[in-house]
Amino acid sequence: MAKRVGVDKWLFGVILLLVLFGLVMVFSTSAVMAKATVGSPYAFVSHQALWALLGMIALTILMRVDYRLYNNPKVVFPAVTITMLMLVVVFAFHDSHHTHRWFRLGALSLQPSELAKPVLVLFLAYFLQTRMHQMDDWKGTILRAAIPPLLFIGLILKEPDLGTALVCAGVTMLILYLAGMQIKYLALAVLAASPVLYYMLFHVAWRRARMLAFVNPELDPRGSGFHILQSLIAVGTGGIRGLGLMEGRQKLFYLPEPHTDFIFATVCEELGWIGAIAIIGLFCVLGYRGLRAAILSTDPFARFLAFGITTAILIQAFFNISVVLALVPTKGITLPLISNGGTSVFITLAGLGVLLNITREID
């Protein structure tokens, strides 16, 4: 196909809108809390704005870098190794809220599990591009392709971070299916993972409490059911038009993590279902343009790369919104490009820069 002069302008516009909307909502959800805890209402949004700016710079640079440069073992395997080391070393740092998710260097903190998602996609795209006709070889192809993702997922579960681990697992299975893996192998993978998932959900006390709260949050409204009930109150209060930007009440020390995991609940409360549907619509457009690039790519490496980057964002957005609406049990997972989180917004924008470069090849 002829090389395009520019990137996908629809995709770029949607990304910009999501980032700007995210900054507005981070300020709206965090201003009162930041004033009370840090002394400045701008503490969280200024930090997020800095990372968003760095992310947009990375996006601008990477969308001009030929994606074929990443199709190199000298890039892929060091990236896998460094990510693996970071996922291991993170356990040497002090825990935060009983989790080991952050790699700290002075004032700088990074979340290796966020890096694991694009690196996982990069590895699978590189490994599978020449093996699409060997997907019946479960030992030589499927098992070898699954080893790095399984190691990533195992370390992320150990942090513990079940939400991100499920995103990584979902992206891995979808890319393998796109490469030609038969449904029977997917079924066997789900069957093999079921005992592990059952143990993680029902034999870890706090997760079991979340599962029970998901079934009936009213049984423990001030404990395990608190997150779900406060989120649903915020969603229901907003109605069609919402209470107005900055006018939300649940963020005033009622709704837990209103600027991160439950930011979509505040969107519903302040901007109503009109604002919520608008955000979902933007993610749908992002998904359509990203998957379109994957479908139209003639280069298998580009196809897997575009598909993986896009589906990782869509799966994470689906989980976050589903948690807020009480469609799935509560888990700590952010809304891409919207929720407060420096590593998340930077890594996501960098990955989207690669996706935008791929769109240059699409007519």
Contact present, 15 and 286 (Cβ < 8 Å): yes
pLDDT band at 1 (very low <50, low <70, confident <90, very high): very low
Mean pLDDT of the residues in the chain = 91
User: What token pair was written down for 69?
Assistant: 């440069």
Give the model confidence (pLDDT) of 92-134 as tens digits. Answer: 877 666 677 777 776 677 889 999 999 999 999 999 999 999 9
Domains of the chain, by residue range, sit at: 9-359
Give percent above pLDDT 70 in the chain. Answer: 97
Across the range 138-166, mean pLDDT stands at 92
Give the model confidence (pLDDT) of 324-352 as tens digits. Answer: 998 988 887 899 999 999 899 999 999 99
Give the model confidence (pLDDT) of 16-75 as tens digits. Answer: 999 999 999 999 999 988 898 888 999 999 999 999 999 999 999 999 999 999 999 999
Is pLDDT larger for residue 127 or for residue 209? 127
Q: Under DSSP, is residue 335 helix (H, G, I), strand (E, B) or coil?
A: coil
Please report the pLDDT score of residue 253 as a whole number: 82
Residue 71: partners with Cβ closer than 8 Å, 6 or more residues away = 125, 126, 129, 301
User: What token pair was written down for 124?
Assistant: 């699978």
pLDDT band at 226 (very low <50, low <70, confident <90, very high): confident
Please report the pLDDT score of residue 3 as a whole number: 52
Give the model confidence (pLDDT) of 271-311 as tens digits. Answer: 999 999 999 999 999 999 999 999 999 999 999 999 999 99
Query: Token pair 């990375």 is at which residue?
Result: 58
Nearest to 107 by CA among 164, 50, 159: 50
Full-model pTM: 0.93
DSSP calls for 280-311: HHHHHHHHHHHHHHHHH-SSHHHHHHHHHHHH
Contact present, 359 and 126 (Cβ < 8 Å): no
Contact present, 135 and 182 (Cβ < 8 Å): yes
Euclidean distance between CA atoms 261 and 211, whole angstroms: 17
